[in-house]
Each structure stands twice: as C-alpha cells, then as structure tokens.
Amino acid sequence: MEKADLYKELEQQARNLLGGERDPIANAANFSALIWEMLPDINWAGFYFRKSGWLVLGPFQGKPACSRLQMGAGVCGTAAAKGKTLVVADVHKFDGHIACDEASNSELVVPLMKYGTVVGVIDLDSPLFNRFDQEDAKGIEALASFWVLASADIP
C-alpha cells in the first residue's frame, strides 16, 4: 500500500475504533495498537503524557520503556519542549537520545497539542535507519490531532 493510502486507512480505522469513547487512556491504548498493527518496521509505538514538567509513560506497544522522561531531554523531551515534530534518521547521532530499546535506530516524535500547549507526545521507534519521512510525520500529526479532539483531558 502507498504511504498516503496507509495513513488514510489508519485515520479511518482510528475513527471507527473510537465509537464516541472520550477516555484518553482507552483511546491512546487503541491508537498505539492500531499503529503497531498497521505500520511496518516499528519496534515501539506509544504515548507519553506531560505531568508536572515530566513526560510520563502512557499506553504503548513494544518492549517495556522508560517510565519518565524529562522535558527538554532526549528526542521526546525535545519535541515536547519545542512543540515540534521531530524526525530522527539516526538516533545514535541525536545528542541526548534516550535508548529504551537498543534495537531502535530511527524515531518519530509528534507533540499532542491542546489549546496551544503540549499535553504529551506520540513516539514511534524503528529498527531501520531513516524509517520515517515527512509523510509519516504528517500522518501521525493527523492522528495526534484526532486523538486530542476525540479525548477528554488526561487526569
């Protein structure tokens, strides 16, 4: 399947999956599972939520990961602090990268934006170098916006 079609399908399935559910954890759990099922060459997919200056682990698929990341540190913390999507072709060249799974070689982190503030991130890791491009970034950004719209605030 072409990447553009894959992301159209992913968003459609996300819409179908919600069925009016507003619980943020339930929706994050299902979105992680959907990304995991649909995107090839991914070894970790999940959510971190912003809580008192930290990013705290939310629902995910993949190996157990760091429970808590500092805002501004690593790929997730940098994306969250800047409110910007980060596409990292080689995580070993990213200053401060935090290795939760040694198999990860590239990474995509998309901030979850609500009312102009960052409430968390979606993080995808791949064992391939240069796995993610701008099309992946746009596709996951659309999914992130949809999660924010569909879900109530994180408690």
- Rule CB under 6 A: is residue 98 a binding residue for ligand SME? yes
Segment lying near ligand SME (by CB under 6 A), choices 15-23, 63-71, 131-139, 140-148: 63-71
- Candidates 65, 89, 137, 142; binder of ligand SME (CB under 6 A) is 65
For 48-99, give the DSSP string: EEEETTEEEEEEEEES---SEEETTSHHHHHHHHHT--EEES-GGGSTT---
The H or E element containing residue 5 is helix 3-18
- Which tokens belong to 51? 């809580």
Segment lying near ligand SME (by CB under 6 A), choices 19-27, 35-43, 66-74, 136-144: 66-74
State the nearest-atom distance from the C-beta of 98 to ligand SME, in Å: 4
Residue carrying structure tokens 């999956």: 17
- Rule CB under 6 A: is residue 69 a binding residue for ligand SME? yes
The crossing angle, in degrees rounded to 10, of helices 24-38 and 3-18 is 150
Give the C-alpha separation, 87 to 131, whole Å.
9
State the nearest-atom distance from the C-beta of 100 to ligand SME, in Å: 4
- Candidates 14, 100, 112, 148; binder of ligand SME (CB under 6 A) is 100
- Rule CB under 6 A: is residue 50 a binding residue for ligand SME? no
Give the C-alpha separation, 136 to 139, whole Å.
5
The residue ranges that bind ligand SME (CB under 6 A) are: 44, 65-66, 69, 74-77, 97-98, 100, 104, 107, 123, 125
